[in-house]
Copies of this chain bind each other. A is one copy, B any other.
Amino acid sequence: MKQLEEKILKEGKVLPGNILQVGSFLNQQLDTDFICEMGHEIARLFADEPITKIVTIEASGISIAFAAAAVMHVPVVFAKKSLSANVSGEVYSARVHSFTHGNDFTAVIAKPYLSASDTVLLVDDFLAMGEALRGLIAILDQSGAKLAGCAIAIEKAFQGGGDKLRAEGIRVESLACIDSMTADSLTFRENG
């Protein structure tokens, strides 16, 4: 998505540790109209799939998931992050390592909100090592829900998580796919 690449070049900041800060439009301030456009693009990419639910993870995945779901007229379910490894009750859960924060958390979804009758699109703002997506996929497996694919705003392809998922046969679509990143330059993958 050309406009997203341009926005990253204009507003993004590369911080130490391979962090790309896009707080001005995606992570703390939300450029509502632009995120709605990204939602339309995600809906267009997955129009051929019989998606019943979008699943994401709090907090910064929620707006883009919601924007796509508003176009597709399906519910969103967002996994909550619990720092405790012991999550009880009627939940699906998976342990996830956070690349950005350098800690582990447990992603949790209450059982009533996912079932074997669901076909799920996973949506998130970033894809780096793929840890969050793998946690969500583990939760889908527990529920029996079918995975239609993953839609990501910004993939940091040089960290490898997206291509590993693709190599396993999972459909991963990124609206912007960064092949290399330094403080001074960003290179996007063609057709990313």
Contact = CB atoms under 8 A, between A and B. Distances in A.
B29 A77 contact: yes
A45 B76 CA distance: 26
A83 to B, nearest CB: 9
Given A36-B70, A59-B59, A59-B62, A31 B77 contact: no
Nearest to A54: B32
Contact of A73 (B23, B24, B33, B77): B33
A98 to B, nearest CB: 14
Nearest to A64: B66
Interface in A63-120: 63, 66-67, 69-70, 73-78, 80, 109-110, 112-113
B32 A73 contact: yes
Contacts of A182: none
A148 interface: no
Nearest to A53: B29
A75 B28 contact: no
A63 B36 contact: no
B73 A29 contact: no
Given A23-B113, A24-B113, A59-B78, A66 B35 contact: yes
A29 B62 contact: no
A28 B23 CA distance: 24
Interface of A: 23-24, 28-33, 35-36, 58-59, 62-63, 66-67, 69-70, 73-78, 80, 109-110, 112-113
